Structure 1
Amino acid sequence: MRLGFLTACMPERPLEAVAQWAGAHGYETLELAAWPTLGDRPFTASHLAADAFDARERERVGAALADNGLSLSALAYYDNNLHPDPQERAAIHAHVRACIDAAAALGGVPVGTFVGRDPGRSVLDNLREAERVLPPLVDYAAERGVRLMIENCVMEGWHPDGGPGNLAYSPELWEWMFELGLFLNFDPSHLLWLGIDPIAALRPYVERVIHAHAKDAETFPAQRDRYGFFGRVATRGEQPWEMGWWRYRIPGLGAVDFRRYVDTLYEGGFDGALSVEHEDPVWGGTPRKVEQGLEIAHRTLRPLVVG
């Protein structure tokens, strides 16, 4: 197992600077943010130009990693593959294919994305639509020696009322997507606030986990008593990600049992990357605080990960 992080937490830095910092602070691998170069959505970055990937970009990425003793664990482009706007959906699928092409050129690392959802349609209608549109992307990846993986993030901010915006949030839906040839980028933090035991949920599916996120979550039961499970409704306003009774944390600062989590991965035969996804509001807001958050994560996880 290798310890790394998703580079989206450092959107203001070029890849070379991110890699230099990671190598100097004991990280071994990077999950490269590969969103389109245009756009300013939160928790995204463009450390690899998938939409303009050529021999020069391949050389640049390879050198940045090699010069700092790092490997590449995956490419990250988490977007809504069931977007209700046909033009937007087509653009998303085109970028997924571009990421797959880049991943193939870089040794066949996995590409991470979301199932997504059309919030104006029922879950069952969305699943049927996904069964139509996702297999061509899976096939496109397989033909190039790449595996397409889905993170089990709820993406509640994509739904107008805080419902699931990514239909891959529970074991029931993992089984459905495995049948389509998709794999899992497992993240324990999302399960915690859903009321699902992350360790119990992980254990039967480790063989389909090809990449693992390290992110924690902290809950506030008194606030849940006010807002309910679905979080703020009338007071969400322009902050769709502020649910009011939970928040993401750096590993070790929330309620996920990372000793059991990592041990369960090992017990199931997992030998991929454990990638810190830093979205902790306490250790965010400035580049230096993001660095400190990653340092805390490294101190928490390093004793658990055997190289």
Structure 2
Amino acid sequence: MRLGLLTACFAGSSLDEVAEWAAGNGYASLEVAAWPAGGDHPHHAAHLDAAAFTQAEAERVRALLDRLGLTVSAVVYCANNLHADAEERDSVHRHLRHCVDTAAALGVPYVSTFVGRDVTRSVAENLRLAERVLPPLVDYAGERGVRLLAENCPMEGSHPDGYPGNLAYSPELWEWMSDLGLLLDFDPSHLPWIGIDAEDALEFALERGIVAHAQAKDVEIDTRLRTRYGVFGRTVGRTSPVDAGWWSYRVPGRGMLDWNRIVDMLHKARYNGTLAVEHEDPVWGGTAEHTEQGLRIAARTLRPLVSPESPDPGWR
């Protein structure tokens, strides 16, 4: 198993800068963000220009990674593949195919995305829509030696009322989407706040062989505030769909998840891929210095578990 990081938290840095920092701070792999250039979302970075990726750039990136001893575990473009607007949905699919081509050029096995949701339709209608539009994307990737993954983020921010906007949030849906050919990019942090036991869910997914990649993000839950607002979150004074008021994401080591147990379960299942830290911690975020310190905290928490035989690289 390799310890990696999702590069999206370094939206203002180049891939070269991110790679240099990661290699010097205890990380061995990158899950590389490849959203379209020009976006303004704080967690959408374009560290690979998938729409204009050339063979020359592929060779340059491979040389960079080889020099630093890094690998790329996945190319990431998490967007709404079931968007209600047909033109926007086509645009998402077009960029997803660019990401597949980029992954193939780099020899990267996975592209991670979302299933998504058309918020104007019922869940049942969305399942039928997905069964129509997702298999051609799975086939496109497969023809190029790449597998599509879906992350289990509920994406409540994509729904006007904060309900799940990504139909990949539960083990029931993981089984359904695996039948469509999508494997799982497992992130345990999304599970406790929707009432799912992260360890039981991981065991379910490992037993079915659908975990192709894993992310490491923690979660902090204030049960007293949950009692005040309910599981759907605050209503009066809500500032955005993600402003639930009683939970927040944290870096590993600062939340409630048992990383000793989670990583041990991956080891027992002979998972030999990457565990990539996804940094969305509001405490250790907001500035480059805070973000880097958050990633150092995550590395100190996880590296002894992921690669206990590896020497301490000296980060403090």
Q: TM-score category by the smaller chain?
A: over 0.9
Structure 1 regions of 5+ residues with no counterpart? none
Question: Aligned-pair distance for 1:64?
Answer: 2.4
Report 1:16-35 matches (<5 A): 16-35=16-35
Instruction: Give me the whole-angstrom Cα distance separating, in 1, the residues matched to 2:88 and 2:284.
Output: 33
Secondary structure, counterpart of 1:212 in structure 2: strand
What amino acid does structure 1 have at the position aligned with 2:193? W
Secondary structure, counterpart of 1:25 in structure 2: coil
Instruction: Give me the whole-angstrom Cα distance separating, in 2, the residues matched to 1:233 and 1:68.
Output: 48
Of 125-134 and 34-43, the range deviating more from structure 2: 34-43
Q: Which residue is equivalent to 2:314?
A: none
Question: Aligned-pair distance for 1:204?
Answer: 2.3
What amino acid does structure 2 have at the position aligned with 1:292? Q
Question: Aligned-pair distance for 1:108?
Answer: 3.6
Instruction: Give me the whole-angstrom Cα distance separating, in 2, the residues matched to 1:166 and 1:30.
Output: 24
Question: Aligned-pair distance for 1:109?
Answer: 2.0
Instruction: Give me the whole-angstrom Cα distance separating, in 2, the residues matched to 1:198 and 1:234.
Output: 30
Q: Which residue is equivalent to 2:235?
A: 233
Q: Is the 8 A contact 1:48 1:61 kept in 2?
A: no
Instruction: Give me the whole-angstrom Cα distance separating, in 2, the residues matched to 1:4 and 1:108.
Output: 14
Residue by residue over 1:258-295, the C-alpha shift from the partner in whole angstroms, topping out at 9 and shown as x without a partner, is 11101111111211000000000000000010000000
Q: Which residue is equivalent to 2:255?
A: 254
What amino acid does structure 2 have at the position aligned with 1:249? R
Instruction: Give me the whole-angstrom Cα distance separating, in 1, the residues matched to 2:108 and 2:220.
Output: 35
Question: Aligned-pair distance for 1:63?
Answer: 2.4
Q: Which residue is equivalent to 2:220?
A: 218
Instruction: Give me the whole-angstrom Cα distance separating, in 2, the residues matched to 1:34 and 1:177.
Output: 23
Report 1:58-137 matches (<5 A): 58-137=58-137
Question: Aligned-pair distance for 1:192?
Answer: 1.2
Calculate the aligned-residue CA RMSD, in Å. 1.0
Q: Is the 8 A contact 1:162 1:233 kept in 2?
A: no
Residue by residue over 1:49-91, the C-alpha shift from the partner in whole angstroms, topping out at 9 and shown as x without a partner, is 1011111221232122222111111000000000011111000
Question: Aligned-pair distance for 1:200?
Answer: 0.6
Report 1:150-165 matches (<5 A): 150-165=150-165
Of 149-158 and 219-228, the range deviating more from structure 2: 219-228
What amino acid does structure 2 have at the position aligned with 1:234? V
Does residue 194 in structure 1 map to residue 198 in structure 2? no
Residue by residue over 1:180-232, the C-alpha shift from the partner in whole angstroms, topping out at 9 and shown as x without a partner, is 01100000000011111111111122221111000000001111111110112
Of 74-83 and 223-232, the range deviating more from structure 2: 223-232
Q: Which residue is equivalent to 1:283?
A: 284
Residue by residue over 1:94-152, the C-alpha shift from the partner in whole angstroms, topping out at 9 and shown as x without a partner, is 00000001111111420000000011111010010000000000000111110000000
What is the number of equivalent residue pairs in this alignment?
Answer: 306
Q: Is the 8 A contact 2:223 2:246 kept in 1?
A: yes
What's the % identity of the aligned pairs? 60
The alignment's TM-score, normalised by the length of structure 1, stands at: 0.98
What amino acid does structure 2 have at the position aligned with 1:140? Y
Question: Aligned-pair distance for 1:42?
Answer: 2.6
Runs ≥4 residues deviating over 4 A: none
Instruction: Give me the whole-angstrom Cα distance separating, in 1, the residues matched to 2:192 and 2:66.
Output: 36
Report 1:261-280 matches (<5 A): 261-280=262-281
Q: Is the 8 A contact 1:162 1:230 kept in 2?
A: yes
Q: Which residue is equivalent to 2:143?
A: 143
Instruction: Give me the whole-angstrom Cα distance separating, in 1, the residues matched to 2:164 and 2:204.
Output: 23
Q: Which residue is equivalent to 1:204?
A: 204
Does residue 245 in structure 1 map to residue 246 in structure 2? yes
What amino acid does structure 2 have at the position aligned with 1:284? G
Instruction: Give me the whole-angstrom Cα distance separating, in 1, the residues matched to 2:288 and 2:56.
Output: 28
The alignment's TM-score, normalised by the length of structure 2, stands at: 0.95
Q: Which residue is equivalent to 2:2?
A: 2
Question: Aligned-pair distance for 1:38?
Answer: 2.1
Question: Aligned-pair distance for 1:12?
Answer: 0.5
Instruction: Give me the whole-angstrom Cα distance separating, in 2, the residues matched to 1:242 and 1:200.
Output: 27
Instruction: Give me the whole-angstrom Cα distance separating, in 2, the residues matched to 1:169 and 1:43.
Output: 19
What amino acid does structure 1 have at the position aligned with 2:275? L
Q: Is the 8 A contact 1:7 1:32 kept in 2?
A: yes
Question: Aligned-pair distance for 1:39?
Answer: 1.2
Instruction: Give me the whole-angstrom Cα distance separating, in 2, the residues matched to 1:157 and 1:219.
Output: 18
